[in-house]
């Protein structure tokens, strides 16, 4: 993907060209097809080009309108160009050669700041209005293109990546302590604008902003609506419309002349993407490259299952080629410092899987990579309180049947699911408080469940923060359940895992596309009655029925009961304890790390894990591994950023 950046001097001073160049240098890996900038008076705009769609080749950014009043930098792929041609009266002779940036500028000229309501696709752009000395920025509804910004007394700085904003000398480099603490607790922030730096914010999905000398305004132009339900007469109509919307989304994402690949997990989402990629885009003589992560020899059963599925898929279509790598224990902690330059936050625990898959794709000369990362959770509105909600409405028998079928498909106990998904959310306040209030002699909850440094945890009053994030606490009434469904749907759009995958791919000049996150498709999924998402204990009921007789029979019969990636991940951490301890010893010498992370607690936990005779994949062990890895990755992040950016 391309990248954009810009600097606006809020007091009408002159912008130093060196500052915009510094921003661009930090993202130079995105400039495969060139870069340019414009620096005039109080505004500077920069563009780094990576061509993907046929229209990208005609981009010349920053683009300035004929009268010089408007300038734009954009990173975009517009999916409703035909509608915009008509609405903006763009002549047919210009349509074939008109890049997205010009269409965006014409839309702004016609509709002003309401232009975002007319746009479909992926975009992050900034438009400078020279007549009014105002900057307008926007990010697409699904948040698939990123935009970060700093708003200070003298400067407004924005960019596609956090480190580009950090490169400006006026931007403070101090960490956001609460964001770090919440990461170490493994909870989601209520404020989705926060980053790991106090002074830098993320423009939320479906949001726009305008800023001038004495004006700053944020406005949400799209928000997920879970109340607007589609009503068809038959099940067949629901399945048919689902397939139609998804097919359209895949078509939009495959607007490219480059070689296409696919991240193949062996599940429904990746199989659906593979089917349409094969049928719609590939030449007859060319096979579609699939990229999969396989477990080490210790885990033969899940590995064989993926190979069997792959064989069935290949037999049906005969146009696929599987590229895979066996996960290695060394990969879990290898080259962390080599990866940190690309990120501006702690690495996700599974980042090494993404990294190895992207390297495989690069070796195969793939430039566009289809992904379905966590797609099912992003297109469902029933939320974490679905089963308890059924109980509140009086559907007792129906809820118990769903719990029974779900525990069979997920290989969990009936009581576990009933307690977590139904009973806990229904628990009255006084019972809840009694059950989860720690005794005076006990340690605070945050000390038990995280690696937060003791002084920091007390200063931030983390025990109070954690009390409100215990599983089920916020879902105990129908009003909070409905509010949570909206918030969880919003957070499940393009999350940090998707952003990390995009960052890793951009370093290899590869663009990752996510058809399951196309706006119209997501809107349809959110409008479907709950039962079509989650019926008879099958997470993928909708996909099974929509693609019946299209996908291989073996895939349709498969229930995803194994934690293939997690099994390998936990095993590798278990076998690499000594390496983790060695790395922690080097980090322990840095005072900045110890301010945030309790490294001694990580070492003690690792020593306990090392003494185990074998790995038992129970919830307690998995939770312990997760806590250790969060602490480790955060320590590495703080160490790296402190050394390279003089952060505090």
Categorize the per-residue pLDDT at 555 as very low, low, confident or very high, splitting at 50, 70 and 90: low
List the structure tokens of 390: 């059924």
- Alpha-carbon gap, residue 264 to 287, rounded angstroms: 14
CB atoms within 10 A of CB 527: 16
Q: pLDDT tens across 11-27, in order?
A: 989 999 999 999 999 99
pLDDT for residue 376 is more than 60: no
Q: Which of 436-445, 550-559, 603-612, 634-643 has the highest mean pLDDT?
A: 634-643
Two tokens, residue 551: 């996908």
Residue 4, beta-bridge partner list: 47
Tell me the per-residue pLDDT of 270-306, one tens digit each, with 9 for 90 and over: 777 877 777 665 555 667 888 887 755 444 444 445 5
Low-confidence winner among 205-219, 329-343, 599-613, 626-640 (lowest mean pLDDT) = 329-343
CA distance 465 to 338: 34
Q: Say yes or no to pLDDT of 107 above 80.
A: yes
Domain 3-220 has CATH 3.40.50.970: no
Please report the pLDDT score of residue 562 as a whole number. Answer: 42
Q: Where are the alpha helices (DSSP H) in 379-472?
A: 386-392, 396-410, 414-418, 424-426, 429-436, 445-449, 454-459, 462-467
Secondary structure letter of residue 167 according to DSSP: T
What is the residue extent of each domain of the chain? 3-220, 235-355+363-378+514-562, 576-645
Homologous superfamily of 235-355+363-378+514-562 in CATH?
A: HUPs (3.40.50.620)
pLDDT at position 125: 97
Cα(339)–Cα(347) distance, integer angstroms: 9
Q: What residues have CB less than 8 Å from 632, skipping those under 6 apart?
A: 580, 583, 584, 602
Name the nearest CA neighbour of 516 among 623, 379, 411, 645.
Answer: 379
Please answer whether residues 202 and 466 qualify as being in contact, where contact means their C-beta atoms are separated by less than 8 angstroms: no
Pairwise CA distance, residues 263 & 371, whole Å: 5
pTM for this structure?
0.88
Residues 6, 157 contacting (CB under 8 angstroms): yes
Quick check: 488 pLDDT over 80? no
Residue 560 pLDDT > 50:
no
Does pLDDT of 188 surpass 70? no
In the three-class reduction of DSSP (H, G, I as helix; E, B as strand; rest coil), residue 425 is classed as helix
Task: Give whichever of 79-88, 246-255, 470-479, 602-611 has the largest mean pLDDT.
Answer: 79-88
137, two tokens:
């920025």
Residues in the chain, overall count: 648
User: How confident is the model at residue 7, as a pLDDT?
Assistant: 97
What pLDDT sits at residue 267? 66
Cα dihedral 380→382→384→389 (10° resolution)? 180
Q: What is the mean pLDDT of residues 445-452?
A: 74
Most confident among 315-324, 415-424, 632-641 (mean pLDDT): 632-641
Residue 520 confidence (pLDDT) above 50: yes
Q: Using CA atoms, how far apart are residues 322 and 308, in angstroms rounded to an integer?
A: 12
Neighbours of 363 (CB within 10 A): 12
**pLDDT bucket at 114, cuts 50 / 70 / 90:** very high
In this structure, is the dihedral angle defined by the CA atoms of residues 188, 191, 195 and 199, taken in order, positive or negative? negative
Residues 644 and 638 sit within 8 Å (Cβ to Cβ): no
> Per-residue pLDDT averaged across 615-637, rounded?
79
SS3 149: strand
The answer to whether the CB of 543 falls within 8 A of the CB of 555 is no
Mean pLDDT of 366-379: 72
> Ranked by mean pLDDT, which of 195-209, 350-364, 554-568, 622-636 comes out on top?
195-209
- Determine the pLDDT at residue 307: 62
Whether residue 480 has pLDDT greater than 50:
no
The mean pLDDT value for 506-531 works out to 86
d(CA 98, CA 78): 12
The dihedral built from the CA positions of residue 383, 486, 107 and 144, taken in this order, carries a sign that is: negative
Least confident of 142-156, 265-279, 476-490, 538-552: 476-490
Going from the C-alpha of 257 to that of each of 34, 56, 57, 214, 369, the distances in angstroms are 18, 11, 11, 45, 13
User: What pLDDT is recorded for position 477?
Assistant: 44
pLDDT band at 408 (very low <50, low <70, confident <90, very high): low
| pLDDT at position 148 over 50 | yes
The pLDDT-based confidence of 409 (bands split at 50, 70, 90) is low
Arithmetic mean of pLDDT over the chain: 80
Q: Bridge-partner residues for 210, per DSSP?
A: 136, 217
Contact 254, 280 (CB under 8 A): yes
**Looking at residues 475-498, what average pLDDT do you find?**
52
User: What confidence score (pLDDT) does residue 556 get?
Assistant: 63
More confident: 232 or 421: 232
Q: Where are the alpha helices (DSSP H) in 71-168?
A: 81-87, 92-95, 100-111, 162-166
Q: What is the per-residue DSSP string for 244-291?
A: HHHHHHHHHHT--SS-EEEE--SSHHHHHHHHHHHHHT--TT-PEEEE
pLDDT tens for 166-186 read: 999 999 999 999 899 888 887
């Amino acid at each position: 993907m391309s990248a954009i950046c810009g600097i606006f001097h809020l007091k009408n001073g002159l912008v130093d060209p060196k500052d915009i160049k510094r921003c661009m240098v930090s993202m130079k890996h995105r400039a495969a097809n060139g870069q340019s900038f414009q620096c005039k008076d109080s505004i500077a705009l920069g563009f780094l080009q990576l061509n993907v769609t046929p229209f990208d080749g005609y981009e010349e950014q920053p683009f300035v309108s004929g009268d010089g009043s408007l300038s734009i930098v954009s990173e975009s792929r517009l999916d409703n160009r035909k509608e915009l041609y008509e609405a903006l009266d763009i002549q047919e002779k210009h349509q074939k050669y008109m890049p997205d940036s010009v269409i965006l500028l014409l839309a702004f000229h016609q509709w002003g700041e309401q232009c975002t309501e007319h746009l479909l696709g992926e975009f992050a752009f900034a438009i400078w209005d020279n007549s009014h000395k105002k900057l307008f920025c926007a990010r697409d509804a699904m948040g698939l293109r990123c935009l970060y910004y700093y708003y200070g007394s003298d400067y407004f700085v924005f960019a596609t990546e956090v480190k580009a904003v950090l490169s400006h000398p006026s931007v403070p480099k101090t960490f956001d302590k609460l964001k770090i603490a919440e990461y170490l607790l493994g909870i989601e922030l209520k404020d989705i604008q926060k980053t790991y730096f106090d002074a830098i914010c993320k423009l939320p999905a479906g949001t726009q902003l305008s800023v001038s000398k004495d004006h700053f305004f944020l406005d949400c132009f799209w928000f997920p609506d879970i109340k607007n339900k589609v009503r068809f007469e038959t099940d067949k109509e629901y399945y048919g419309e689902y397939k139609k919307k998804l097919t359209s989304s895949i078509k939009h994402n495959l607007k490219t002349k480059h070689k296409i690949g696919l991240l193949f997990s062996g599940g429904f989402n990746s199989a659906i993407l593979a089917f349409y990629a094969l049928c719609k885009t590939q030449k007859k003589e060319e096979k579609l490259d699939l990229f999969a992560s396989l477990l080490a020899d210790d885990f033969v059963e899940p590995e064989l299952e993926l190979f069997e599925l792959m064989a069935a898929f290949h037999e049906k279509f005969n146009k696929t080629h599987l590229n895979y790598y066996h996960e290695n224990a060394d990969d879990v902690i290898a080259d962390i410092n080599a990866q940190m330059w690309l990120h501006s936050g702690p690495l996700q625990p599974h980042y090494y899987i993404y990294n190895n898959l992207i390297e495989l794709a690069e070796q195969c000369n793939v430039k566009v990579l289809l992904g379905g990362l966590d797609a099912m959770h992003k297109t469902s509105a029933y939320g974490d309180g679905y089963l308890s909600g059924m109980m509140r409405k009086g559907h007792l028998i129906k809820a118990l049947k769903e719990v029974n079928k779900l525990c069979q498909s997920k290989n969990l106990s009936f009581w576990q699911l009933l307690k977590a998904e139904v009973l806990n959310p229904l628990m009255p306040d006084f019972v809840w408080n009694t059950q989860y209030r720690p005794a005076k002699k006990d340690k605070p909850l945050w000390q038990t469940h995280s690696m937060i440094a003791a002084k920091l945890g007390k200063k931030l009053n983390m025990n109070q923060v954690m009390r409100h994030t215990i599983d089920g606490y916020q879902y105990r009434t129908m009003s909070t359940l409905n509010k949570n469904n909206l918030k969880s749907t919003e957070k499940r759009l393009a999350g940090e895992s998707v952003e990390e995958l995009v960052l890793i791919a951009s370093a290899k000049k590869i663009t990752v596309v996510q058809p399951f996150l196309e706006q119209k498709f997501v809107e349809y999924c959110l409008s479907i009655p709950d039962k079509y998402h989650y019926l008879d204990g099958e997470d993928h009921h909708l996909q099974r029925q929509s693609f019946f007789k299209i996908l291989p029979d073996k895939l349709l019969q498969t229930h995803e009961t194994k934690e293939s990636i997690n099994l390998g991940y936990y095993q590798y951490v278990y076998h690499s304890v000594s390496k983790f301890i060695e790395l922690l010893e080097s980090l322990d010498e840095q005072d900045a790390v110890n301010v945030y992370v309790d490294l001694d607690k990580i070492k003690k936990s690792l020593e306990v894990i090392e003494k185990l005779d074998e790995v038992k994949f129970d919830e307690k062990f998995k939770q312990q591994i997760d806590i250790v890895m969060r602490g480790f990755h955060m320590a590495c992040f703080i160490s790296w950023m402190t050394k390279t950016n003089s952060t505090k």
